Structure 1
Amino acid sequence: MFRWVVKLRGLRIRNLVMAPPGIAALRVFLWTVFRAANFLYLPVFVTRIFHRATPCPPIENDILLLTAVELAEKIRKRELTCEAVVKAYIERVKEVNPIINAVIEDRFHDALEDAKEVDRFLSNTLMTTEEIEEKKPLLGIPLTVKGSIEVEGMKNTSGVVSRANVIAKEDAIIVKSARDAGAIPILTSNIPELCLNWESTNKLVGTTRNPHNTTRTVGGSSGGEAGLLATAASIIGVGSDIAGSLRLPAHFCGVWGHKPTPRVVPFAGHYPSCKNEDEWREVFTLGPMARYAKDLKLLLKIIANPEAKETLRLDEPVALEDLRIYYIEDLESILTNKVSSVCLDALHSVVDHMNKLCHVECEKAKIPLLKYAPEMASLVLLDIDDVDNLFVGRGDGSYAELFRYFTFRSKSVFMAIAYGVVRKLSKYIPNSTVEDCRKKLSEMKAELIKMLGDNGVLLIPTFPTEAHPHGDILRKVLDSGYCVIFNAFGLPVTNCPVKFSKNKLPVGIQVVSAPHNDRLTLAVAAEIEKTFGGWKPPQPREKACY
């Protein structure tokens, strides 16, 4: 909690007011608020002494250890029945969900019927295995779906009490695409209320717990997906990303998450959405999550817009040795926590490996304005109008709802209300300041794209630390800036698990490329998995670590 003192000693404080015009006052205000939060958390730190983690049961069914690519091949070749595969995942979900609380609603009965239909099809079809692979590459593969994405006949609440009985009338486009490819949805996974939090909690389902240590968060907003993947209760899933929502949970849970290039994956069928579609498409996207790196590319090929597939060139070979690798160790922002030693070690381990693999050594990127990017990106994203939330206009009624929350009468969680309050307060920020942020971000984006070109990637921490205890995101909000900046820049990013901390918690890094070069980040992800092992199941511990 006294890390801010270390920052002062390291002279990071000098960046506090040395910001572009119009940003300095905002930085001073935010710095004061977040540093004060450390002291307000003192009672919370004391109560954590009594918290204990609940271990997840070990994985005993070998079916759960196969990649989606391997499972699909075995199902096509009749080496495994689809019913056996779906049944194995259903049993695993039932085994772990009472511990991690990651499921909104299941369709186990219908999924088993779908699996039996697949087995009947395979018994009677005259198609060759090659033809099946081409037309239905996910045939028989269980799919989990983030609870903000529509699945026909299932609840589409987005964690909002007033939407408790809302039922999706049809599949979201990406769910339909996955079904057409043979995937079988088995459940929808938990999220924060309206996806407005980096912790997956709401008043309908409750809080999802990290399977590596249940006293820690899974992150958000695709937290349920990450938790299920981490404990082998899912093999592939789909989520969404507006401010790190795919990558942060993947980092905390030790799995893979890919934020595609904007406009590549259709977002119709996701709630919340935004009436300002042009601006929304540039920062928000749906994308694949997986337990194994190779499955990311398979799923992305299926859910991408048909017209985007040629642009992405996902099947084009990538010569890793010819890549130019850049890296950033720390944003060096006064508003973010210093990157921990274990996260730095994960980054350096990958850099050292790529130095041996590539013809050109990795180069440390130097983008001076990047230290101001977290608050700039947050301010620009906050300025997007007509995003579905609890309030109308620019946070009208948020003050009253905040009062109801503190008097225990609100049906919403704090972060969803806080979004409206911050939107309300943001009207006092001059338009010139917001436009200045847009301009500076545009300049940084252009600089990054020029640096990366068609053959470069950037390595950067996903978050400064491993998964923190539940609730700590309130004092670490701008640490999510390591993810948020790439939403503002509109660049494709893959989260890659690299190693574990001494607390047996996973940590990873982000791999970033220029737009439509998703194949580069996915190729580096596959190399990282091959070298460092990728996903590992939660390990039992003698006692909880904080």
Structure 2
Amino acid sequence: MNLLVLESAVRQLKMLRQREISVVELAEAHIKQIERLNPQLKAFADFDAERVRAQARSMDAVLVDARGPLHGLPVTVKSSIATAGYKCEIGSLNHKDEIPREDAVVVSRLRAAGALILGTTNCPEFLMAYETDNLLHGQTRNPWDLERTPGGSSGGESAAIAAGMSAAGLGSDSGGSVRVPAHFTGICSLKPTPGRIPGRGHLPPCVGPFATLGAIGPMARTMADVELMFRTLSGQDDADPASPPVVLRELSDSEVRKNRIGFFEDDGLTPVTAETRSAVRAAAAALRDAGFRVEPFRPRTLEPLRKLWWTLFVQCGAMFYEPEVRGGREKLSPIFREFLEIAERSGPLTATELLNAWAELDVLRAKTLEEMREYPVLLCPVASVPAWRHGERKWTIDGQTVEYLDAVRHTQWFNTLGAPAAVVPVGRSPEGLPIAVQIAARPFQDEVALGVAGILDTVFGYTAPRTAAGM
């Protein structure tokens, strides 16, 4: 087992720049880790060792002055983000063997920065689940416990990074899909403000309500790595109406610490495990020790935000996919049929209901942002529970039954708000599973969320699962 693959992306890049290791050697270490672990984890949708080796050889031949900030770094891309030459099938038999001819904007930026693309990673069919499974590539497993899921929809990405099969990568998030997997596997991630990392080229497109709900986000083992990816890949895409002309800001530690933090352990409706509460308290204490003013605070708009997310993600999502799946349910995976059944229980939206929901989106966002003036940073759980067993759909916490989508409501609020939210591992469950916390900031204050989360990461941070370390 080569422990090099468990080093941070920042450390791997430093070793490459200082010629301590070649791109070929670093790529080979990752290839061996993938060949060792992927047969049991099933994190990849497309991986070809010889293609990786060819990329690495050509990268070692590039002149030093022509090398980008990610030169030689082995990365992965969720198979819902167009990556030319790689399978991007969105986990569906309807898209079996589909290979885009053009890169998504963010993948073009990855290549321009010099990243070495290892392959694309597995996701649930059409991305509509918090568990990664489909009829093309099967069930992705959590490197902490093979009987548990690494989450969804960026579950293949989180499993690959947590297990040292990738140094960093890209997921996407319309309801927690980079944050829940990071929480489940003990890594870091950021759901940015929509458009700060361009979404053009995502499959399916981030349009309509998903232009607010959805974002492509970086995932890695440390917040420093996540921040590196964000800074390298962000910036306006002038062909994307959802991509704002917001420039990167360099914030000093003192500027980050000026932000008052409001923290809450639950939303007052759905309980969380005792260890989840402990993780939030530990994170709050660490931030106080770091000089922040941290006080109990919970926005009053959380439940209206969640209900609106349900309308726009669950009901609208089913409406978006209805033309594609009409008459072909026998080809759909059980996990996507489960989503359709959940959506159908809510019934179809009328034109009036959809119009009212769209208007309410702006009203609720304004109310929440007004509340966040006093507490521009929020600290809260990522989910009620740690990684669950494959197919598990309800839990009993404090004598109360917690249902599937309620258990992950904590991420949904910030999709409706269109706000950046970062995830950092902090604690452990009684079974030894990772438990993370979530740091959210006001829209376009991504650098603030990254700064606060980075401070937490220096106190807590990544631990390699036994599977990854070969134990």
Task: Provide the TM-score with structure 2 as the length reference.
Answer: 0.89
User: Counterpart of 2:267?
Assistant: 331
Structure 1 Cα separation of the partners of residues 44 and 290 of structure 2: 41
Determine the structure 1 residue equivalent to 2:400.
none
Q: Which runs of 5+ in 1 are unaligned?
A: 1-59, 402-409, 541-546
* Equivalent residue, structure 2, for 1:65: 6
Residue aligning to 2:152: 220
Q: Following TM superposition, by how much is the alpha carbon of 1:423 offset from its aligned partner in structure 2, in angstroms? A: 4.6
Give, as a single letter, the amino acid of the residue that structure 2 aligns with 1:413. S
Q: C-alpha distance in 1, partners of 2:117/2:462?
A: 22
Q: CA shift at 1:68, angstroms?
A: 1.5
DSSP-derived class of the 1:188 partner: strand
Q: 1:281 to 1:454 in 2, by over 3 A?
A: farther
Distance in 2 between residues matched to 1:302 and 1:107, nearest whole Å? 26
Residues 377 and 437, structure 1, Cα contact 8 Å, conserved in 2: no
1:358 is the counterpart of 2:291: yes
Residues 159-198 of structure 1 mapped to structure 2, 5 A cutoff: 159-198=91-130
Aligned equivalents of 2:69, 2:51: Cα separation in 1: 21
Q: Distance in 2 between matches of 1:211 and 1:524?
A: 27
The answer on 1:313 being equivalent to 2:265 is no
> Which of the two has higher C-alpha Rg?
1
Aligned positions of 1:5-404 closer than 5 A: 60-122=1-63, 125=64, 127=65, 136-273=68-205, 277-306=207-236, 311-319=246-254, 320-333=256-269, 336=270, 338-358=271-291, 360=293, 362-384=294-316, 388-389=320-321, 391-392=322-323, 401=329
Kindly provide the amino acid, as one letter, of the partner of residue 466 in structure 2.
Answer: Q
Residue 463 of structure 2 is aligned to residue 536 of structure 1: yes
SS at match of 1:202: coil
Other-structure match for 1:509: 437
Cα distance change, pair 380–317 in 1 and its aligned pair in 2 (3 A): same
Against the structure 1 CA distance between its residues 175 and 344, is the aligned structure 2 distance closer, same or farther, given a 3 Å change threshold? same
Counterpart check, 1:472 vs 2:402: no
Q: Check 1:64–1:385 CA distance in 2 against 1; reply closer, same or farther (3 A cut).
A: closer
SS at match of 1:526: helix
With 487-496 and 106-115 compared, the bigger mean Cα shift is at 106-115
- Look up the SS of the partner of 2:209 in the other structure: helix
Indicate how the Cα distance of structure 1 residues 106 and 429 shifts in structure 2: closer, same or farther if over 3 A, else same. Answer: closer
Count of residues in correspondence between the two structures: 453
Show the counterpart of 2:398: none
More displaced 10-residue stretch of structure 1: 283-292 or 455-464? 455-464
Distance 1:357 1:194, change over 3 A: same
Q: Contact between 1:108 and 1:187, CA under 8 Å: does it hold in 2?
A: no
CA deviation profile, 1:457-486 (whole Å, cap 9, x unmatched): 100100001111111247412222111111
Separation in structure 2 between the aligned mates of residue 380 and residue 208 of structure 1, nearest angstrom:
27
Alpha-carbon separation, structure 1, partners of 2:375 and 2:11? 30
- Of 476-485 and 344-353, the range deviating more from structure 2: 476-485
Distance apart, 1:272 and its partner CA: 2.2
Q: Which amino acid aligns with 2:311?
A: L
SS in 2 for 1:217: coil
Cα shift at 1:255: 0.4
In the TM superposition, residue 247 of structure 1 has moved relative to its aligned partner by 0.4
* Cα root mean square deviation, aligned: 2.5
* 8 A contact 2:197–2:236 mirrored in 1: no
Contact persistence 2:301–2:367 (CA under 8 A) = no
The offset of 1:79, in angstroms, is: 2.0
**Is this contact kept in 1: 2:318–2:340, CA < 8 A?**
no
Q: Say whether the 8 Å CA contact 1:374–1:478 is kept in structure 2.
A: no
Alignment of 1:475-494 (within 5 A): 475-494=403-422
Distance 1:359-1:260 versus aligned 2 partners, 3 A rule: closer
- Distance in 2 between the 1:349 and 1:341 partners? 12
Bigger helix fraction: 1
Q: Which amino acid aligns with 1:522?
A: L
Question: What's the offset of the Cα at 1:269?
Answer: 2.1
Aligned residues of 2:386 and 2:433 also touching (Cα < 8 A): yes
Distance in 2 between residues matched to 1:261 and 1:314, nearest whole Å: 14
Q: Contact 1:454 / 1:517 at 8 angstroms: preserved in 2?
A: no
Q: What CA deviation, in whole Å up to 9, does each residue of 1:431-455 have, x standing for no partner?
A: 6666666566544432432343498
CA distance in 1, matches of 2:260, 2:183: 24
Identity in percent: 28
Structure 2: stretches of 5+ with no match in the other structure? 238-242, 395-402
Q: Aligned equivalents of 1:296 and 1:196: distance in 2?
A: 24
Partner Cα distance (1:257, 1:154) in 2 = 23
Going from structure 1 to structure 2, the CA distance change for 1:359 and 1:97 (only over 3 Å counts) comes to closer
Between the aligned partners of 1:506 and 1:74, the Cα distance in structure 2 is 29
Residues 494 and 385 of structure 1, relative CA distance in 2, 3 Å threshold: closer
Distance 2:340 2:40 in 1: 32
Query: Once the 2 structures are TM-superposed, how far is the Cα of residue 177 of structure 1 from its aligned partner?
Result: 0.5
Amino acid at match of 1:315: E
TM, length-normalised to structure 1 = 0.77
| 1:509 counterpart letter in structure 2 | V
